[in-house]
A and B are shown apart, each in its own frame.
Chain A
């Protein structure tokens, strides 16, 4: 029987974890330990529902409702001086509870503070675009769509950005294998040569660590080279290649340590 492999997360896993290992936590502190964050949180709480808030590694994390995001970021930009959206993206929790976690990394240059605004959405749900507030969200939301398949409502150009326009699948999902899926293996063959050439060319091998020691066409067998097409038996004679001819090559003279000058200081 084949070993069961969970399909909802095909990423690399620790092959051994101690049964009694309890992972420590990055310490969290309450928001009222920092006066600036506390007042910011009060301002957000006055208008929107805040589900959870804490400070972790010098930055405040605020959990809100998905439908409030435009309002919260507008409030933060216009009233709380968080003028830059540094980064936004998603985290795939589909295997756990069929949700995505979306985070927005905000920066205030006058207060020198960073806040991470987060919320959860169901699989298949779209987010509200904040492109009208921050132009940087234009490309971030496109990247999020490309990588996770999460669409943004009211986005002016919801197209893939990094992957080819006709790609299938969203690469950063945990269900997507590192070396690509069936579609990825045939993508370039189909596109460049057509489906009928599949038998001749074969699927693309994206496992870069793969080394076929009998493949003398793609991998040089240093010291044991054979002419192309020769069958490799494994007991070939070692073949010594001399890289400089006895008399020397035209314009190239043999290095002679005694007569050459060694430069100690490259700046001379």
Chain B
């Protein structure tokens, strides 16, 4: 192919750089390492102080909602992995639950326990990743290495379960595809026994660290009204004084059977969010211990079913498909044509590590959703930067982006 000259010129959305009011326009990103992805921020500065912030997103837009309208329901499951790729099972789960609610399916208990194990492991993975990257942005290299080491253990466990480390696709509509491997519970127990000491190590490194405190305390304060108005959820909302956790308030799966607390703070600053994340890790560990017990009880009671029984929507177990003609026919139709949920609509919110992950599905009775809207928490946690950044200084931008815990797979979808 002949060489063609590239004529790309930088484009700065009607921003004049030659200004007569002493204001400087700084273009932060989209390739900035501490923007945690493809975030572009246009910052108007007076000296070092930000007077106007304009987040620009869309650099990772893949049109997932459009793709969903052109895919059968089961086909869309691996795509949901690519939203919040730090904790992809929680996306799988949100979608599976939405479709199950639409159909009206009840998932077997053992599958529920496995799902909860996966969800909480994902929450721990996500929070460890958050701690590592935020600490690295602030300059705490040791915490980064420590937290990534722990996250690696969890990824090994997940890898043993589904073969993937980041994009798990570990949950199916109607249950889970596999039982957990033999070493799962042992590995998890070893990890959980070490975790309190690990968390204490991070806290010893950070809690009384002068630099950490200076970068975190009284920086990026979000008031309760602002958090509610901007649609903040998850740790962002809980650090601003609202103890709202969907696992507690609108329990799904078996969250009403486990005991855990909802940590919250009314300070609303970066440090409050950091504390909420740390406490949530402890609560997740508590839930995981209880899930291990639940799983062992399932095993003792002989509950072996992993997928719901609903021949119209869910394929039969592999043994049935291989031995029974009718199951094989159903399976063939479900794979080639896809399930056809009833006509209606549903909005299901789950508590993903980042906040409220919602799936709105409008089904017209066909094998493809007529409209699927993904409500990703990070989208609004990025939007709030418009109101949050003005008044802060340039170094604060990095720590604020860090504590909002945004993931661009989810912002741009």
Interface-centre pick from A138, A163, A171, A194 (highest chain B CB count, 10 A):
A138
Known A-B contacts A56-B344, A112-B250; the reply to A136 vs B67 at CB < 8 A is no
CB-based contact A136/B373 at 8 Å: no
Answer yes or no: B229 CB below 8 A from chain A CBs.
yes
Of A37-45, A66-74, A83-91, the one with at least 4 CB within 8 A of chain B:
A83-91
CB-based contact A24/B343 at 8 Å: yes
CB neighbours (8 Å) of A251 from chain B are none
CB-based contact A114/B347 at 8 Å: yes
Q: How far is the CB of B386 from chain A (nearest CB, A)?
A: 8
Complex Cα distance A187/B68, Å?
A: 24
Answer yes or no: B283 CB below 8 A from chain A CBs.
no
Q: How far is the CB of B146 from chain A (nearest CB, A)?
A: 15
Known A-B contacts A109-B249, A134-B231, A197-B4; the reply to A25 vs B342 at CB < 8 A is yes
The tally of residues in A whose CB lies under 8 Å from a CB in B reads 59
Cβ < 8 Å to A, chain B residues 297-352: 337-338, 340-349
Chain A: which residue is nearest B227 at the CB level? A84
Of A8-16, A120-128, A236-244, A253-261, the one with at least 4 CB within 8 A of chain B:
A8-16
CB-based contact A178/B66 at 8 Å: yes
Answer yes or no: A266 CB below 8 A from chain B CBs.
yes
Answer yes or no: B365 CB below 8 A from chain A CBs.
yes
Neighbour of A91 across the interface among B341, B362, B367, CB < 8 A: B362
Complex Cα distance A21/B4, Å?
A: 55
Q: How far is the CB of A194 from chain B (nearest CB, A)?
A: 6
Chain A: which residue is nearest B346 at the CB level? A57
Chain A: which residue is nearest B156 at the CB level? A266
Flag A191-205 by CB within 8 Å of B: 1 or 0 each: 111100100110000
Answer yes or no: A165 CB below 8 A from chain B CBs.
yes
Cβ < 8 Å to B, chain A residues 70-109: 83-87, 89, 91-92, 103, 105, 107, 109
Known A-B contacts A109-B244, A138-B383; the reply to A162 vs B58 at CB < 8 A is yes
Neighbour of B67 across the interface among A87, A165, A178, CB < 8 A: A178
Answer yes or no: A267 CB below 8 A from chain B CBs.
yes
CB-based contact B66/A83 at 8 Å: no
Answer yes or no: A139 CB below 8 A from chain B CBs.
yes
CB-based contact B345/A26 at 8 Å: yes
CB-based contact B231/A14 at 8 Å: no
> What is the predominant secondary structure among interface residues of chain A facing chain B?
loop
CB-based contact B367/A266 at 8 Å: no
CB-based contact B383/A136 at 8 Å: yes
Neighbour of B343 across the interface among A26, A191, A201, CB < 8 A: A26
CB-based contact B249/A59 at 8 Å: no
Q: How far is the CB of B116 from chain A (nearest CB, A)?
A: 21
CB-based contact A162/B412 at 8 Å: yes
Complex Cα distance A101/B380, Å?
A: 23
CB-based contact B4/A163 at 8 Å: no
Neighbour of A87 across the interface among B57, B104, B360, CB < 8 A: B360
CB neighbours (8 Å) of B367 from chain A are 14
CB neighbours (8 Å) of B191 from chain A are 267
Answer yes or no: A158 CB below 8 A from chain B CBs.
no
Interface-centre pick from B63, B249, B343 (highest chain A CB count, 10 A):
B63
Known A-B contacts A112-B250, A267-B187; the reply to A14 vs B242 at CB < 8 A is no
Known A-B contacts A26-B346, A116-B347, A139-B380; the reply to A14 vs B57 at CB < 8 A is no
CB-based contact B343/A25 at 8 Å: yes
CB-based contact A84/B360 at 8 Å: no
Answer yes or no: A3 CB below 8 A from chain B CBs.
no
CB-based contact A105/B370 at 8 Å: no
Answer yes or no: A50 CB below 8 A from chain B CBs.
no
Q: List 17 A-B contacts (CB under 8 A).
A: A11-B368, A12-B69, A12-B71, A14-B366, A14-B367, A26-B104, A57-B102, A86-B231, A91-B371, A116-B347, A135-B229, A135-B387, A160-B58, A165-B13, A192-B7, A201-B4, A267-B190
B residues at A contact (CB < 8 Å): 1-2, 4-8, 11, 13, 57-58, 61, 63, 65-67, 69-71, 101-102, 104, 153, 156, 187, 190-191, 194, 226, 228-231, 233, 242, 244, 249-250, 337-338, 340-349, 356, 358, 360, 362-368, 370-371, 373, 375, 379-380, 383-384, 386-387, 412-413
A residues at B contact (CB < 8 Å): 11-17, 21, 23-28, 56-57, 59, 61, 83-87, 89, 91-92, 103, 105, 107, 109, 112, 114, 116, 134-136, 138-139, 147, 160-165, 171-172, 176, 178, 191-194, 197, 200-201, 265-267
